[in-house]
A and B are shown apart, each in its own frame.
Chain A
Amino acid sequence: MQNLASVLNLLAGAPTLFGVLLASGTIFLTSDWRLSLTALLVQYVCIGLLLTRSIQGEIAILKALTGVLAVLILYITVRRVQEERGFLPEQAEFPAAVRWGVADPHGSLGLVLRLLASVLVVLALVQGFKSVHFPRVPAHFVFAALWMGGFGGLGLVLSGDPLRVATAILTILAGFDLLYAPLEPSLALVGLWSAMTLGAALAFSYLIVVDSGSGSRSAPGEEGD
């Protein structure tokens, strides 16, 4: 048990923080739903690891597990929708993760524009971080939360596709949880927060299913709106 604690302690440092930043950036930049959901999964696990230094280990694990479940709900939904519609990824002209064009055939922003928007967010974040101060919360948590909020907000503004919106809003909420969990350690609140996260994932998966039946041509997560 002590070994596990020391491993967790070792992991919950700079590598995990870097993992969170990379994951939220990937969620926004990629057009491939598999990569996007994998990044969301990594993000939740990293947040759980980061939180082990600020809150009880069991609660941090519970938070990570909730996130993993939410990702699982979304994954199963998109997988089923694709199977029902007979969509094969191999049919795509280019791999979905690296669409370079300004706009793909379904109207989403291409990688170039998404990269430019990301640069703007990072610049604003670096500038704004100096003036933000949260008592009792480590500075690197604040930076990660603002990073996630920035990329989540950008994802929310630039897309109407339910899967993209779901990953963006879950990123924002996870970022806020990084700030809020050390401040409010109440067990009941942790339970309600988890219920809300799972409820949101279920509601979005329902919207993904309904949207797929509305005749939009694109695969879920690859813009149809």
Chain B
Amino acid sequence: MTPLPGAALLVGLPLLAAGVTYLVRRFSFVAALLSMGTTGMLALLCLYLPLDRSAYVLGREIAFGRPVVVAGRMLALTAAGQTWLAFVFILSTVLYLCAWRISPGRSFFPFSLAMLSLYALTVLVPTFSWAVLLLTISAALMVLILQAGQAGSIRGAQRYLVIALLAVPFLLAAAWFRDQTAFYPENEDLVRCALLAAGVGFGLWLASFPFSTWIPAMTAEAPPVVAAFALTVGQTMVLFVGLSFWRDLPSASEASVLSVIRLAGLVMGCAGGVMAAVQHDVGRLMGYAALSDLGYLLMALGLGGSQGATLALLHGVNRAVALTLFAAALSIVRQRAATDQFSKLHGVGRRLPIATVGLMLGGMALAGFPGTAGFPTHWAISRATWNWVQVLSPFAQAGGSGEGLATGQEWMWWFTGFALAASSAGIIIGMLRGLSAMMGSAPAQDKRRQPIAASLIVLALVALTITLGLYPQWFLEPVQKAAQILF
């Protein structure tokens, strides 16, 4: 019997499961179990099956790395893609577990599985333009789960869709310009055009400043687990496509390009932090905290090379854990208190202590607070960024070590210091304001007791967040491997 190609499994299995879960979507336990089973199994296959030879799984021969030809193009799984998909499937399994007890809408399971199938296809396709269009099609599906059938404001879902669609022309143009550089290597304008178009396109997709308005709008309106799916799984895929593009573009690692990325990250971190400090509801606070944290990821990428990529990927893992914890806890609060506005959360902290602890710890991890998952990478990225601007400090220039530098750039030193402090302090202030409201002295009588199963999930995520804060090296090895393959 011919061995089953891995590509068929990765694309076909989630699609099949999507169909079945759509039929049983009213039974959340069955739908969640099916979804978790599918993604859990695919994660295990990605983690353990070799790419260079076939292996037997449940008596069936599977050639995981065997390419499949579709429309004249070869779909093949690379080592980097395998690691990436393993992470995406593990993350989805955890989110499905959360969604089992805290319903984010019946459509979440089938449509997110269909999206995972498209994500797998995105990793398999060899062409950047195909990947861009596949991710955009998945964004159209995402709208259905972001809105989740709720009548009310459609601002978040609509902005998400518009931004996803607006980025397409820029990214396809970037791909075309990049391809032209192979024919006209001496033409530097082509590289510049490709970089500019890619910068705008990925800036839109990654919610880089000033295209970031969709994140808080989305987290304020969408079910928290779905928002976490978009911010972790969705943005992980954008990052994969972005890194693949970056790797193949000549001059992408030039110091000026890296500086722009780092600066964009700093502005995002600062803007997210400042805005988080003044929010009046937990959903928006989550959005701005996620935005600020995404800025750190860009700062790490701006360090360049495999070292920067390793730090960025490690930060991506920690960020995913923190966001999942935040989303799970927020889901409980929204479900039990029917709101997430600070002014209406008085007494929730006493009635839902586990969810409150989860919320606080998730927020603190996004702020990079010591002892949480976010701290090690926040610290490393902050140190690296701080070192980068040290030569621009007034003290260094006065001491002579800044000789040769363009004058008038001292503002960068001041701005970096302010941005790094504001990004973390802003989130912490916002979280403390939320905590103060939740611990208010007038406990509302209509709040129901905390759900046991959902609270256990939050507790497990709390434990993981603290453990990752204490032992950050846990994921270092696979992340280093992925970064080395990518660069």
Binds B, one of A8-16, A43-51, A97-105, A181-189: A181-189
Does B209 make an interface contact (CB < 8 A)?
no
Q: Which residues of chain A in 1-43 are interfacial with respect to chain B, using CB atoms and an 8 Å cutoff?
A: none
Measured between alpha carbons, how far is A206 from B71 in the docked complex, in Å?
Answer: 31
Does B143 make an interface contact (CB < 8 A)?
yes
Q: Which residues of chain B in 52-95 are interfacial with respect to chain A, using CB atoms and an 8 Å cutoff?
A: 70-73
Does B137 make an interface contact (CB < 8 A)?
yes
Does B357 make an interface contact (CB < 8 A)?
no
Q: Which residues of chain A in 187-209 are interfacial with respect to chain B, using CB atoms and an 8 Å cutoff?
A: 187-189, 191-193, 195-196, 199-200, 202-204, 206-207
B141–A183 CB distance below 8 A:
no
A207–B134 CB distance below 8 A:
no
Does A162 make an interface contact (CB < 8 A)?
yes
Instruction: Determine the residue in chain B with the shortest Cβ distance to A194.
Output: B133
Does B136 make an interface contact (CB < 8 A)?
yes
Q: Which residues of the other chain, B, contact A156 by a CB distance below 8 angstroms?
A: 162, 166
B158–A188 CB distance below 8 A:
no
A165–B169 CB distance below 8 A:
no
Given A162-B154, A196-B137, A210:B162 Cβ within 8 A: no
Instruction: Determine the residue in chain A with the shortest Cβ distance to B136.
Output: A196
Given A165-B158, A203-B140, A207-B161, A172:B166 Cβ within 8 A: yes
Q: Which residues of the other chain, A, contact B153 by a CB distance below 8 angstroms?
A: 214
Given A202-B140, A203-B140, A207-B154, A187:B161 Cβ within 8 A: no
B151–A207 CB distance below 8 A:
no
Does B155 make an interface contact (CB < 8 A)?
yes
B158–A207 CB distance below 8 A:
yes
Which has the most chain B C-beta neighbours within 10 Å: A183, A196, A206, A213? A196
Question: Nearest-CB distance from B299 to chain A (Å)?
Answer: 30
Measured between alpha carbons, how far is A195 from B130 in the docked complex, in Å?
Answer: 12
Q: Mark B146-185, 1 if CB is under 8 A from A, else 0.
A: 0101111111011001100110110011001000000000
- For the complex, would chain A's binding face be called helix, strand, loop or mixed by DSSP majority? helix
Measured between alpha carbons, how far is A112 from B6 in the docked complex, in Å?
Answer: 59
A189–B130 CB distance below 8 A:
yes
Does A87 make an interface contact (CB < 8 A)?
no
Q: Which residues of the other chain, A, contact B172 by a CB distance below 8 angstroms?
A: 176, 180, 184
B158–A184 CB distance below 8 A:
no
Given A160-B155, A196-B133, A196-B136, A207:B147 Cβ within 8 A: yes
Q: Which residues of the other chain, A, contact B306 by a CB distance below 8 angstroms?
A: none
- For the complex, would chain B's binding face be called helix, strand, loop or mixed by DSSP majority? helix
B133–A189 CB distance below 8 A:
yes
Measured between alpha carbons, how far is A116 from B168 in the docked complex, in Å?
Answer: 29
Interface size on B, residues (CB 8 A): 33
Q: Which residues of the other chain, A, contact B166 by a CB distance below 8 angstroms?
A: 156, 169, 172
Q: Which residues of the other chain, A, contact B13 by a CB distance below 8 angstroms?
A: none
Q: Which residues of the other chain, B, contact A203 by a CB distance below 8 angstroms?
A: 140-141, 143-144, 161
Interface size on A, residues (CB 8 A): 32
Q: Mark A151-172, 1 if CB is under 8 A from B, else 0.
A: 0000010001010010001001
Which has the most chain A C-beta neighbours within 10 Å: B144, B149, B155, B165? B165
Given A196-B133, A199-B140, A173:B154 Cβ within 8 A: no
Given A183-B176, A188-B71, A162:B158 Cβ within 8 A: yes
Contact of B150 among A162, A165, A187, A210 (CB under 8 A): A210
Instruction: Determine the residue in chain B with the shortest Cβ distance to A177.
Output: B169
Given A165-B162, A189-B130, A196:B168 Cβ within 8 A: yes
Question: Nearest-CB distance from B93 to chain A (Å)?
Answer: 26
B158–A193 CB distance below 8 A:
no
Does B235 make an interface contact (CB < 8 A)?
no
Instruction: Determine the residue in chain A with the shortest Cβ distance to B72.
Output: A188
Can you add 4 more A-B contacts, CB < 8 Å, to A176-B172, A196-B133, A199-B141?
A: A210-B147, A211-B154, A214-B154, A225-B155
* Interface of B toward A, CB cutoff 8 Å: 70-73, 129-130, 133-134, 136-137, 140-141, 143-144, 147, 149-155, 157-158, 161-162, 165-166, 168-169, 172-173, 176
* Interface of A toward B, CB cutoff 8 Å: 156, 160, 162, 165, 169, 172-173, 176, 180, 183-184, 187-189, 191-193, 195-196, 199-200, 202-204, 206-207, 210-211, 213-215, 225
What are 22 inter-chain pairs, A to B, with CB distance below 8 A? Answer: A162-B154, A169-B166, A176-B172, A187-B71, A189-B129, A192-B130, A192-B134, A192-B137, A196-B136, A196-B140, A196-B165, A199-B136, A199-B137, A199-B141, A200-B165, A202-B140, A203-B140, A203-B143, A210-B154, A214-B151, A214-B152, A214-B153
